[in-house]
């Protein structure tokens, strides 16, 4: 269990967003593991990358994940098929903050096509800097 560890993955549509996230996470001093993909030009299938990230988180429960595809939708759906994943598809700083505060999300997903660098960094900062509130929110999570 490593609280300082971040796994990142994307499909081709999310590649550029993943690269921005990777740079930010490295600058923050996180231990980063880039699970691909490695190019925006080669078409790949987002479930393969969501599943790879989920497999790593299963053995590394304290770690967090970042997933990016074109819209963020497909890759978040795929990730949430895994019971140990609470993947939040976020669009801005507020949704990223609430994903931690209320949902104890362990994976942040966002759109690579509709998020600019400023938005991505704002979401990452909120995701990493917000602690889970617990209490009534834990009860709700227990019912998932």
Q: Determine, following the binding rule CB under 6 A, whether residue 69 of this chain makes contact with ligand RB5.
A: yes
What is the size of the binding site for ligand RB5 (CB under 6 A)? 8
Catalytic residue among 56, 82, 91, 102: 102
User: Does 32 participate in catalysis according to the annotation?
Assistant: no
Judged by CB under 6 A, the stretch of 23-31, 63-71, 86-94, 125-133 that binds ligand RB5 is: 63-71
Interacting residue with ligand RB5 among 5, 64, 66, 70 (CB under 6 A)? 70
Q: Residue from 7, 8, 13, 67 that binds ligand RB5 (CB under 6 A)?
A: 13
Is residue 17 at the binding interface for ligand RB5, with CB under 6 A as the rule? Answer: no
Q: Which of residues 26-55 bind ligand RB5 (CB under 6 A)?
A: 46
Nearer to ligand RB5, 24 or 72 (CB): 72
- Does 69 qualify as catalytic in the annotation? yes
Nearer to ligand RB5, 79 or 97 (CB): 79
Give the separation between CA 56 and CA 42, rounded to whole angstroms: 24
- The label of the residue with tokens 């362990």 reads 106
Length of the chain: 144
């Amino acid at each position: 269990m490593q609280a300082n560890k971040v796994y990142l993955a994307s499909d081709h549509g999310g590649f550029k967003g993943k690269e921005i996230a990777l740079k930010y996470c490295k600058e923050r001093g996180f231990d980063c593991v880039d699970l691909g993909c490695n190019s925006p030009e080669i078409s790949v299938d987002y479930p393969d990358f969501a599943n790879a990230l989920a497999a790593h988180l299963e053995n590394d429960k304290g770690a967090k994940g970042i997933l990016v595809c074109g819209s963020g939708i497909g890759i978040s759906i795929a990730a949430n098929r895994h019971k140990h994943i609470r993947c939040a598809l976020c669009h801005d700083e507020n949704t990223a903050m609430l994903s931690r505060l209320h949902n104890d999300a362990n994976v942040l997903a966002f759109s690579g096509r509709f998020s600019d660098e400023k938005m991505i960094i704002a979401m990452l900062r909120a995701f990493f800097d917000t602690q889970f509130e617990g209490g009534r929110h834990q009860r709700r999570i227990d019912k998932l």
